[in-house]
Amino acid sequence: MICKLRLQNFKRFENQSLEFGALTLLSGLNGMGKSSVLQSLLLLRQSYQQGLLESTGLALNGDLVRIGTARDALFEDAKEDKIGLVLAFENGNEAIWQFAYNPKADILGLASPAVPPETYQTSLFGDHFQYLQAERLGPRTSFAMSDFQVRQHRQLGTMGEYTAHFLSIFRDSEIPNSTLSHPQAKSLNLLSQVEAWLSEISPGTRIHIIDSPGMDLVSLQYSFGLSKEYRATNVGFGITYTLPVITAILSAKPGALLLLENPEAHLHPKGQARMGNLLAQTSAQDVQIILETHSDHVLNGIRLAVHGGNLDSEAVRLHFFQRNEVISPQMNRRGRIDQWPDGFFDEWDNSLAALLQPIEE
């Protein structure tokens, strides 16, 4: 598990360290650097996959992340033309990458790395990894297949584009963590569990998968209770949008790493809270989750999981990004948080206070 990340001269950060837990929640106003934290990890993975990280430098643009130019990656007021990315792991190992900026060629070349060889055996660089970006695929008449991504590497795609194919292949496989089994599920099989957890969003949801291997396409239809089957395009947006997130969570094996952006998108408040609770329960089963969210309901779902004893409060890390600093509130075993800086999931309290103010008749 990754325990700490240090960013030096990377994007908006001159020198920033962040502690990670089994479940790490990144929050804050837009444009404050939350996504840059995820991008730093994705850059390392992307560069490794392209065969550059151990010899040449950073692959700034690829399937996982697109930074642009080397100048875009370098902190605007950097005192030296160098970017540093440092990871600390729970086994005590520390991996240090230094990248020198060449302004003429506009590249970031590898300089003086200090990386234990076993670093590249961790989940960040292997197949026990999923990244789902904020912009996922919504309802479609069909979805793409990829034997390479799905069968060989068990990937859902950054937009969740291979989720239907993944469910088609692994629908009858038991979920790795039986403690996540939904009480209403018919079995421990992945498809049954996904349907049961989706029913928290829309009761009675059933998923029907139609393979068209000759066209390298797979379609999804949904039914509800005894209803007929509906095309995905005729069903609420939130179900298809959430499907990759639930699939990634339930299929994650112990030791896996999940990077998730806005898993609450298009969910109603109860669904968001249940999502937070599910994320918390998953992270208690040796799955590390780094989560970017704007949802107080997701946060409260996590707090309730801690309060209910489903997750140790020591496993949770909260980071709130402001323009000039990162504040890291602490959560106790009752799910209570020790500080609420301005803007940290306090908008409803502010609105309620305004509504309670007397008005002139």
d(CA 171, CA 117): 35
pLDDT, tens digit (0-9, with 9 covering 90-100), for 212-264? 988 889 999 999 987 889 999 998 888 999 999 999 999 999 999 999 999 99
Whether 58 and 91 share a structural domain: yes
Better pLDDT: 112 or 252: 252
In a domain, 360, yes or no: no
What is the DSSP code (8-state) at residue 64? S
Whether 10 and 42 share a structural domain: yes
If we measure between CA atoms, which residue out of 22, 61, 68, 64 comes closest to residue 42? Answer: 64
pLDDT, tens digit (0-9, with 9 covering 90-100), for 174-222? 999 999 999 999 999 999 999 999 998 888 899 999 999 888 899 999 9
What's the confidence (pLDDT) of residue 111? 86
Whether 52 and 159 share a structural domain: no
Rounded to an integer, the average pLDDT of 24-51 is 93
- Which residues have CB under 8 Å from 79's CB, separation 6+? none
What's the confidence (pLDDT) of residue 53? 87
DSSP codes, 113-166: -B--GGGGGSTTTSSSEEEE-SS-----S-EE--IIIIIIT----TTSTTHHHH
Whether 43 and 166 share a structural domain: no
- Extract the runs of DSSP E, i.e. beta strands, from 175-228: 205-212, 217-224
Whether 245 and 262 share a structural domain: no
pLDDT at 361 over 70: no
SS3 10: strand
Q: Which amino acid is at 98?
A: Q
pLDDT at 35 over 70: yes
- CATH number for position 108: 3.40.50.300
Rounded to an integer, the average pLDDT of 73-90 is 94
Domain range for 201 is 138-251
Last residue of a domain, one of 215, 235, 251: 251
Q: Cβ atoms within 10 A of the Cβ of 230, count?
A: 15
pLDDT at 348 over 90: no
What's the confidence (pLDDT) of residue 149? 96
What's the confidence (pLDDT) of residue 113? 84
What's the confidence (pLDDT) of residue 178? 92
Rounded to an integer, the average pLDDT of 331-345 is 86
What is the DSSP code (8-state) at residue 253? P
> Counting beta carbons within 10 angstroms of the beta carbon of residue 255, is it exposed (0 to 12), middle (13 to 18) or buried (19 or more)?
middle
What's the confidence (pLDDT) of residue 360? 66
Last residue of a domain, one of 230, 251, 272: 251
Last residue of a domain, one of 223, 251, 279: 251
Whether 123 and 260 share a structural domain: yes
SS3 194: helix
If we measure between CA atoms, which residue out of 66, 196, 52 comes closest to residue 133? Answer: 66
In a domain, 281, yes or no: yes
- 28: region left, alpha or beta (phi > 0 left; psi from -120 to 50 alpha): left
* Percent of all residues in the chain with a pLDDT value above 90, rounded to a whole number: 75
Domain count, the chain: 2
Whether 207 and 309 share a structural domain: no
d(CA 207, CA 179): 22
Q: Which amino acid is at 128?
A: H
d(CA 154, CA 131): 12
**And the tokens for 15?**
């020198």
pLDDT at 344 over 60: yes
d(CA 54, CA 305): 40
pTM equals 0.92
- Which residues have CB under 8 Å from 90's CB, separation 6+? 1, 2, 3
- Residue 355 confidence class, pLDDT cut points 50, 70, 90: low
In a domain, 361, yes or no: no
What's the confidence (pLDDT) of residue 346? 62
Whether 113 and 260 share a structural domain: yes
In a domain, 359, yes or no: no
- Residue 57 confidence class, pLDDT cut points 50, 70, 90: confident
In a domain, 358, yes or no: no
Q: With contact defined as beta carbons under 8 Å apart, do 86 and 95 qualify?
A: yes
What's the confidence (pLDDT) of residue 30? 82
Whether 208 and 275 share a structural domain: no
d(CA 218, CA 240): 14
pLDDT, tens digit (0-9, with 9 covering 90-100), for 117-144? 999 999 999 999 999 999 999 999 999 9
Rounded to an integer, the average pLDDT of 303-326 is 93
- Which residues have CB under 8 Å from 234's CB, separation 6+? 139
Whether 315 and 197 share a structural domain: no
pLDDT at 95 over 90: yes
In a domain, 292, yes or no: yes
- Residue 308 confidence class, pLDDT cut points 50, 70, 90: very high
What's the confidence (pLDDT) of residue 359? 67
Whether 179 and 322 share a structural domain: no
Whether 236 and 263 share a structural domain: no
For the chain, the C-alpha Rg in angstroms (whole number) is 21
What's the confidence (pLDDT) of residue 176? 95
Rounded to an integer, the average pLDDT of 81-100 is 95
**And the tokens for 84?**
């540093």
User: Tokens 């697109």 identify what position?
Assistant: 66
In a domain, 133, yes or no: no
What's the confidence (pLDDT) of residue 340? 82
- pLDDT mean across residues, the chain: 91
